[in-house]
């Protein structure tokens, strides 16, 4: 049975944003059952976990044949192994891989910087000066991706792992005003959210946090 790791609890702002959701979503799209290993306090620092996920982060993944980490790599493994969510033919497959790299490398670092200023360093003096530059860069990238998307439903033909990454990256902008200026991308994100596999995956992640909260308050 495939196993992924996840946190038993995160603060409210992070719910739906933790990256195990990407893997849950892909597995739900394909219809593959999986187990979730919830990391207990201190476990992320254990030598055993670090030998699986060197940064002590989630998600990590084990399908019995391959054990790896990094949400992008995990999505590629799942798609490749199952011949799903990876485009059509050689060109289609490489278009998906290219978009996977583009979302992770060319877009997401800027989005992470926004989360850093708005959430992790909220209220610190330097953020007021830095934030407009970050927003400008994110908007530039979003304009470029929106142009590349054009009238298509998905980034590279059929729905693929690149769309899982892009929709989830857009979700990390949910606390900001940025997406309001991008109706095409808002519609794209909503299309992603409308997929039954996304909803199943999201509810599964949220249920864990709710169950932990119940346990803590019992």
Ligand X SMILES: N[C@@H](CCC(=O)N[C@@H](CS)C(=O)NCC(=O)O)C(=O)O
The residue nearest ligand X at its CB is 57
Pairing of strands 60-62, 34-38: unpaired
Determine which residue in the list 19, 84, 131, 184 makes contact with ligand X, applying CB under 6 A.
19
Q: Give the single-character DSSP code of 9.
A: -
- Strand ranges of the sheet holding 60-62, from the earlier edge strand across to the other edge: 34-38, 2-6, 60-62, 67-69
- Whether the CB-CB separation of 27 and 78 falls below 8 Å is answered with yes
In whole angstroms, how close is the CB of 64 to ligand X at the nearest point? 20
- Whether the CB-CB separation of 15 and 67 falls below 8 Å is answered with no
139 binds ligand X (CB under 6 A): no
200 binds ligand X (CB under 6 A): no
Determine which residue in the list 71, 117, 160, 205 makes contact with ligand X, applying CB under 6 A.
71
Contact range with ligand X by CB under 6 A, out of 68-76, 134-142, 149-157, 166-174: 68-76
Q: Which residues contact 52 (CB under 8 A, 6 or more apart)?
A: 5, 60, 62, 67, 69
In whole angstroms, how close is the CB of 7 to ligand X at the nearest point? 7
In whole angstroms, how close is the CB of 54 to ligand X at the nearest point? 11
In whole angstroms, how close is the CB of 37 to ligand X at the nearest point? 13
Q: Give the single-character DSSP code of 123.
A: T
113 binds ligand X (CB under 6 A): no
Binding mask 38-67 for ligand X (x = CB under 6 A): ------------------xxxx--------
In whole angstroms, how close is the CB of 207 to ligand X at the nearest point? 17
Q: What angle do CA 96, 51, 209 make, to 5 degrees?
A: 70
In whole angstroms, how close is the CB of 181 to ligand X at the nearest point? 26
Q: Which residues contact 21 (CB under 8 A, 6 or more apart)?
A: 168, 201, 202, 205
8 binds ligand X (CB under 6 A): no
Which candidate, 187, 206, 207, 198, places its Cα nearest to that of 164? 198
Nearer CB in complex with ligand X: 58/138: 58
User: Applying CB under 6 A, which residues contact ligand X?
Assistant: 18-19, 56-59, 70-72
């Amino acid at each position: 049975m495939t196993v992924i790791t996840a946190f038993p609890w995160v603060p409210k702002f992070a719910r739906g944003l933790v990256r195990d959701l990407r893997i849950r979503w892909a597995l739900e799209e394909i219809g593959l059952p999986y187990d979730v290993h919830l990391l207990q306090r201190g476990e992320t620092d254990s030598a055993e976990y670090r030998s699986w996920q060197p940064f002590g982060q989630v998600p990590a993944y084990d399908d019995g044949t391959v054990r790896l980490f990094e949400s992008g790599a995990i999505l590629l493994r799942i798609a490749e192994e199952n011949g799903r969510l990876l485009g059509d033919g050689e060109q289609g497959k490489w278009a998906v891989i290219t978009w996977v790299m583009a979302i992770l490398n060319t877009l997401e670092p800027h989005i992470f910087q926004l989360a850093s200023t708005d959430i992790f360093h909220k209220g610190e003096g330097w953020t007021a000066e830095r934030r407009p530059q970050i927003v400008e860069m994110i908007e530039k990238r979003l304009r470029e991706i929106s142009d590349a998307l054009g009238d298509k439903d998905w980034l590279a033909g059929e729905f693929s792992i690149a769309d899982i990454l892009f929709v989830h990256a857009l979700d990390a902008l949910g606390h900001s005003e940025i997406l309001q200026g991008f109706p095409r991308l808002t519609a794209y994100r909503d299309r992603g959210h409308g997929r039954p596999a996304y909803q199943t995956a999201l509810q599964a992640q949220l249920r864990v946090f709710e169950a932990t909260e119940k346990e803590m308050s019992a």
